[in-house]
Amino acid sequence: GSNYACVKLLDEWVGDPAVAATLRFSVACAAMLPALAYLGTQVDSKYVSWPLARDGLMVGLWFWLGYAVQAVALETSAASLQAFLLSLSVVVCPLLERFLDGKQQPKRAWIAAGLSALGVAALELDGVEDVMSAGLAGGAVLGLLQPICFGVGFWQLEHAMRRHAEPAPSQEGAAGAATTEGGDGVSGDGGSGGLRAVGLPVALTAWNLLAVFVLSVCWMLGSSLGIDGTAPTAGGVAGLSRVVGAIAAEPTAQAALVGTVLWTGLGTTAGCSLVEAAALGELSSSEAT
């Protein structure tokens, strides 16, 4: 919930959603990429293998589309509305599972989806004329792309977690491991067993955030050149330089900006993405949403 309020403030303070996204996701990547490097070099090379990287990058592509839509929509609509529109991913995920995976959904899944859709209708119908007059550029309409992008991302992340998960050890194997090294319950792998338990969600999160960061930089460069329809000097690299320069010149005066970048980067992006990946290793995307 705090993410939407913070992203809206960040967009307003920075003045360009592409620059704000670049700042946010650079912090998220700075937190996750060292962990990925450690996992790939010290624990298991599979974490930096192409099959796992490909799946993580594809998840990142869909998440970036959701994040970009989110940032642009927040420029012209309320944070509370966009947060609520994202709840429609509870409709998208069961539909993907039903029609692409052939998975039968229980009644409660469709009831939940229906209640979510009714909630959005109750929120929006009072201002439907304003929404229609705003056209496709309206933040409320644009925000409806969020649940599609994030929903597909959640669905793909669930498949990636299951595709690359290690098989559960047998009871006999677990008992044997417990007596290794004189029965002290410590294996001789330097503690990598514990890291393996969290390695997959960490690795997939790192790869997906790398894709999000690279695409955000491309978006920022596009705004520098005016490719996205904005004035070439309105944001982009010049905007990033201005913001970083202001922070370096007076870090105390920019404490709110720095705190917001850190919170959205570490908390609502890297942290939430990691928890989502871990949850989708045990739950379906429809259950998780």
Distance (Å, whole) CA 131 – CA 2: 25
Distance (Å, whole) CA 207 – CA 50: 11
pLDDT at 85: 81
pLDDT at 149: 95
- Cβ–Cβ < 8 Å for 88, 81: no
Taking the mean position of all CA atoms in its chain, how far away is CA 113? 22
pLDDT, tens digit only, all 289 positions of the chain: 898 889 989 989 998 899 999 999 999 999 999 999 999 999 999 999 999 999 999 999 999 999 999 888 888 877 777 877 887 888 899 899 999 999 888 888 888 888 877 877 777 656 555 555 544 446 777 888 999 999 999 999 999 999 999 776 555 554 454 444 444 444 445 455 567 779 999 999 999 999 999 999 999 998 777 555 554 445 688 889 999 999 999 999 999 999 999 999 999 999 999 999 999 999 999 888 8
Q: Considering the entire predicted model, what is its pTM? A: 0.82
- Cβ–Cβ < 8 Å for 154, 59: no
pLDDT at 20: 93
Report which of 13, 134, 15, 147 is spatially closest to residue 77, judged by C-alpha positions.
134
